[in-house]
Amino acid sequence: MIYIVADRIKRLREDMNMTQTALAKALSITRSSVNAWEMGISVPSTQYIVELAEIFHVSTDYLLGVNVSSTVSVKGLTDEDIALVHSIIKHLREKNEGAKG
């Protein structure tokens, strides 16, 4: 997990054309702290994960490499509608798995 966080911080920072020094200044920390995160030597505290997510406009789950899942509300759908939604999801999963293999 530490390397996922390190890689994402570095990639997001570079995508914003931001230097380690600029990111450190935005967080009121030292450049060496940012460098340590990006090298996988240390991990940002919860406070900095939240601040990084705000700076980079991503979720904290994304920064931490947590698999994202979604829910779909079936409120107001008939049993037939719900079955159709399930079959579409199954079809898309099978299609995507076939594309990977």
pLDDT at 68: 64
Both structure tokens of 58:
């991503």
pLDDT at 66: 87
pLDDT at 101: 63
pLDDT at 65: 87
Same domain for 82 and 57: no
CATH number of the domain residue 51 falls in: 1.10.260.40
Residue span of the structural domain in which 80 resides: 70-101
pTM of the model: 0.67
**Alpha carbon distance 10, 84 (integer Å):** 42
pLDDT at 96: 86
pLDDT at 7: 95
pLDDT < 50 positions in the chain: none
